[in-house]
Structure 1
Amino acid sequence: MQEFINLFSHLNPAAYTIITLNILLLIFAQRILTHGFKLAPKTHQYTLWLMLFRGINFLIIFAFGYYYWYQPALEKGPALKILAILGITYAAYLLINFGNYFILKRYGKEREVEGKIRLTETYQTRAVSIFSSVFISIVALIAIIHILGFDSLLETGGVIGFIGVFLALTQSTWAPDIFSGLIILNSDMLGEGDVIEFNDGKTVYGLVYKTKLFHTEILNLIDNHRVMVRNARLRDFTIHNLTKFASARGLREKLIFKIGYDAPTEQVKKMFHEAFGKAIERGLNIEEQHGLEIGIQDTGDHAVEWVVFYHTKNIRKLIRTRQHMMAEFYAMSQQYGISLSTPYTLQIQDTSSNTKEAGAKERA
């Protein structure tokens, strides 16, 4: 405690003011940038300015600390060692974030996510970011080891070896997700902004929001909430990327209706086409130029199974479009007097002849 008091005894009022002011700026940097500079949170510009703002504050505090504490000190006490370790840790954090930002700026891909254009990660950005982060972390770790007094190569190697053994023992919890994330990014099968379908006990329609180091964030389009899926588990699913079309027509959606045999074929087709026209008039997200495809998929015991195909390119509103199309077909079926419920067929067997034969035998 006395050592900390002695450290602050070297400061004059001007140094107290400057260091205190910069500490306050470090603490309230986010609020200053949000309310003072009107920067939108969680954007790349906001992140860059936040790191720059805090970096300058840190350098000022470090410079004053070096001038007033380190130069007059005859030997390194524990308080100065703690300050040096904190300084190196913070500097490494800033360097990693600055590096990741410029790597994303250089190798990232622009994509539209939730109506906004933003830079998204690729295989190159993820791989280079991991390499640079590991390199900076190792340099910072070696510097911290030397500050703690482990000067010999054997002592330094022992500390690094202990950390290496710890990572090796825990690699089953983090390594599969890192490598799976790299494989997902490298395959380009799905990316941020894509709408995908997979089965995790139930069918999930989701928008890929962010592919992170260990997990992927997905916005569930049905329940309207975020889902976090481990990268390794995501690779185990059969994923349908609905955003990547097989042709320029868009996604080919299918609706199935079971209609009784008593409904005339021409009337059924006319009903579907008229409902499709009403949907276009209402401005639903369907491709008018490709028309409606109508066919019979199966002829069952109770009903004819009709199948209707239409195309859409607004995959973000896929579920809503499907619901509106079903509503249009149902409303038109009521106007045409065609039931969309599966009819229940009863087969009545004529037993009158058997009854007559039995009566004749009794009389005989």
Structure 2
Amino acid sequence: MIESLIAYFAALSVFGKTAVVLNVSLFIVAGFLFKNVVPSGSEERNKRRARLLRLMNTVLLSIYLFDWIWNYVINTNGYSEFLKQVSQTGLVFLLGYLFTQFSHSWTIRKYGKQRTVDGKETKTRTYQSEMGHIIILLITIAVSILLIINIWQVTSWLQATGVIGGILVILFGTKEAWAHDAVSGLIMLHQGQIAPGVVCRIKSMDILAVIRRMSLTETTFHDVLQKHNIIVANSKLRAVPIEVLNKTDDVHWNDYVEFNIGYDTPSAQVEAFIEAVWIRACELEKQLSDERTPRLVLANPGDHAIQWRMNYRVESVYRIKQARFAINRAAFDLQTEHGLSLATPLTHQSIN
């Protein structure tokens, strides 16, 4: 059996031998390739791309394995010309896939922008990198089609009423499913205000998250509190108001918390309370610095209580909610110690 397999491999053409060696090599180094050479920025995405490449390698190697069993073990017909054409077609798809992955990585490195995402420096996509990728992708598709036509000797495919025309009709008929998202993604990348590393608030979707990744069709957010990913189609993002909470180069964020305190509490007592709250909150949350004192203002003298606003700075924009939670907890714990109440005072009572 081993001798038969060696004899089959020796009888293969130079192309066949190259294809077998290439597929075995890519199957072995797929994980390393997508993790270190052309990484996507997501560990899960790298694993998914490696699995897809290995699946393609397995399918192509299975063609040669079937050819060997059928034509060398069961029969003695030699290798099949039909299976040779199938393997060549598969190799075109494999090389096209690899070329688009490498070229996309190159366009991001060449035209991408260095940004900080979740505290890590990374190259992110830009309008120029995505347009470059689209051009390379179209060229790759065109070359692949011409190679497949040459392999199968089916020049009729080039006719307007042939397969190429059918593909164009399918693309036109399905444009509603992909064109809006792709165009919206290019527009947002070109504007530059919404980009990886930016913290956004979308009230209509109940999202407060940092943008982790943008592609032509969708945007991936990372929730600042629950730390899960949220994926939204680009066309939907273009249709809703988006609050940009920070610039891509700024890591801090200015925020405030409001307290309703009764009129019978003097301002000096409120200031002492806020100072104690700030010191306690800095102990609870590391992204609050006691070197930066908060600013207290009287925001609104309401009918039932005075609304005091505590303005402060969070050193990391990714800890906005955690900082607010720490301040609220500190205020609740210290209100009795400082002789005041955060409950809205009653200004009326029922008389029986």
The TM-score normalised by the length of structure 2 is 0.77
How far the C-alpha of 1:223 sits from its partner, in A, is: 2.7
Counterparts in 2 of 1:283 and 1:83: CA distance versus 1, 3 Å: closer
How far the C-alpha of 1:191 sits from its partner, in A, is: 1.5
Partners of 2:350 and 2:182 lie apart in 1 by 66
- 1:220-263 deviation digits (Å, cap 9, x = unpaired): 223321111001111222112222299x8942212111112222
Number of the residue aligned with 1:197: 201
Counterparts in 2 of 1:169 and 1:153: CA distance versus 1, 3 Å: closer
Higher deviation after alignment, 131-140 or 93-102:
93-102
How far the C-alpha of 1:156 sits from its partner, in A, is: 6.3
Partners of 1:142 and 1:173 lie apart in 2 by 27
Counterparts in 2 of 1:40 and 1:262: CA distance versus 1, 3 Å: farther
1:6-45 alignment, distance < 5 Å: 12=7, 15=10, 23-30=23-30, 33=32, 42=39
Number of the residue aligned with 2:276: 274
Higher deviation after alignment, 94-103 or 274-283:
274-283
Counterparts in 2 of 1:23 and 1:133: CA distance versus 1, 3 Å: closer
Q: Does structure 2 conserve the Cα–Cα contact (< 8 Å) formed by 1:249 and 1:311?
A: no
1:127-206 alignment, distance < 5 Å: 127-152=131-156, 155=159, 158-201=162-205, 203-206=206-209
The unaligned stretches of length 5 or more in structure 2 are 65-79
The two structures, once aligned, show a CA RMSD in angstroms of 4.0
Question: Aligned partner of 1:256: which letter?
Answer: E
Partners of 2:265 and 2:158 lie apart in 1 by 88
How far the C-alpha of 1:81 sits from its partner, in A, is: 2.1
- 1:332-363 deviation digits (Å, cap 9, x = unpaired): 222112110112222578x9xxxxxxxxxxxx
1:211 aligned onto 2:250: no
Of the candidates 102, 106, 110, which is equivalent to residue 106 of structure 2? Answer: 102
Of the candidates 255, 263, 266, which is equivalent to residue 253 of structure 1? Answer: 255
Counterparts in 2 of 1:136 and 1:245: CA distance versus 1, 3 Å: closer
Number of the residue aligned with 2:307: 305
Q: Does structure 1 conserve the Cα–Cα contact (< 8 Å) formed by 2:157 and 2:163?
A: no
Q: Does structure 2 conserve the Cα–Cα contact (< 8 Å) formed by 1:287 and 1:310?
A: no
The unaligned stretches of length 5 or more in structure 1 are 1-8, 65-75, 352-364
Secondary structure in structure 1 of the residue aligned to 2:287: coil
Question: Aligned partner of 2:211: which letter?
Answer: V
User: % of aligned pairs identical?
Assistant: 25
Counterparts in 2 of 1:154 and 1:255: CA distance versus 1, 3 Å: closer
How far the C-alpha of 1:299 sits from its partner, in A, is: 2.5
Secondary structure in structure 1 of the residue aligned to 2:141: helix
How far the C-alpha of 1:20 sits from its partner, in A, is: 6.2
How far the C-alpha of 1:331 sits from its partner, in A, is: 2.2
For these two proteins, the number of residue pairs brought into alignment is 322
